[in-house]
Amino acid sequence: MATLKIWLLLLFVATIDVALGHEKYVPIITNQIHLLRPQSGSGGSYVEGLSCLSWRLAVETNNLISWTQIPTSCVDYVGHYMLGSQYRQDSELVIEQALAHAKALNVSTDGTDIWVFDIDETALSNLPYYADTGFGSEPYNATKFNEWVETKAAPALPATLELYEALLNLGIKVVFITGRPESQRNVTSSNLKAVGYTTWEELVLKGSEYSGKTAVVYKSAQRKILENDGYRIVGNIGDQWSDLLGTNIGLRTFKLPDPMYYIG
């Protein structure tokens, strides 16, 4: 864990750089983060029966659903993945595809083309919080997480910010749809603006009428409202499959990596 803590420090330096400067991210750690024996724990002991590589792939492909915490034996693996260069590289390739899709669109001139962005682990990164709380291995603590949200300290995901800026230049408007509650509108808005998301067509937060409803139901309903209002959803990006499944999903969806938590 000592190594992880050093990396964590490096991460903070990196994210502060990015958050303040909006500069293209240059990874500090350039070595591959996939350990030759990713099943190994911190002491190098072999954990039988679970390949963390397989686990992460199953998560990212929606084969593993409704899980509440990452496997204890994969904490170091997920930590290395998130803090190393692979997470950045994986995100950048997704964004490259999203950009290629956007550039190939025939954008309407009447300003009705929109791109839907999720917020947590899509527009904003809560990695500083998760790095401090076991990368998803601890039970979700709403109080603690909301305290973090209130700090408005979440950096932008560098690749997503690039996509955001390119879309605006292409004449595509941006709509954020987040599972964060209405009560976090001001902090969320401030945080978004502080890291470079300076404008949007709509910022949709989860109202009390969706209390107890799944993310798929809530987000589908909100996208339907947008389409009924005359918007065309030309793209849709999120880190959870619940951002991308359901109805009114848009012309194309893009799944960013997130091996730290699951929202159904």
Instruction: Give the binding range for a second copy (CB under 8 A) out of 172-180, 190-198, 210-218, 251-259.
Output: 251-259
Please, which residue, 49 or 212, has the CB nearer to a second copy?
49
Q: In what order do the strands lie in the sheet with 202-206?
A: 202-206, 173-181, 113-117, 232-238, 253-255
By CB under 8 A, tell whether 80 contacts a second copy.
no
Please, which residue, 1 or 57, has the CB nearer to a second copy?
57
> According to the 3-state scheme, what is the secondary structure of the chain?
CHHHHHHHHHHHHHHHHHHHHCCCCCCCCCCCCCCCCCCECCCCCECCCCCHHHHHHHHHCCCCCCCCCCCHHHHHHHHHHHHCHHHHHHHHHHHHHHHHHHHCCCCCCCCCEEEEECCECCCECCHHHHHHCCCCCCCCCHHHHHHHHHCCCCCECHHHHHHHHHHHHHCCEEEEEEEEEHHHHHHHHHHHHHCCCCCCCEEEEECHHHCCCCHHHHHHHHHHHHHHCCCEEEEEEECCHHHCCCCCCCCCEEECCCCCCCCC
- Within residues 93-132, the interface with a second copy by CB under 8 A covers 93-94, 97
- Within residues 35-64, the interface with a second copy by CB under 8 A covers 35-38, 51, 53-55, 57-58, 60-64
Report the alpha-carbon distance of residue 148 to residue 154 in Å, rounded: 8
Please, which residue, 89 or 146, has the CB nearer to a second copy?
89
- Smallest distance from the beta carbon of 67 to a second copy, in angstroms? 10
Under 8 Å between Cβ of 102 and 234: yes
Residues 22, 34, 173, 232: which binds a second copy (CB under 8 A)? 34
Please, which residue, 54 or 72, has the CB nearer to a second copy?
54
Please, which residue, 71 or 181, has the CB nearer to a second copy?
71
- Within residues 203-232, the interface with a second copy by CB under 8 A covers none
- Smallest distance from the beta carbon of 79 to a second copy, in angstroms? 17
Residues 76, 92, 118, 243: which binds a second copy (CB under 8 A)? 92
Residues 17, 41, 89, 227: which binds a second copy (CB under 8 A)? 89
Instruction: Give the binding range for a second copy (CB under 8 A) out of 33-41, 71-79, 153-161, 209-217.
Output: 33-41
Please, which residue, 250 or 257, has the CB nearer to a second copy?
257
Q: Rule CB under 8 A: which residues touch a second copy? A: 31-32, 34-38, 51, 53-55, 57-58, 60-64, 86, 89-90, 92-94, 97, 253-255, 257
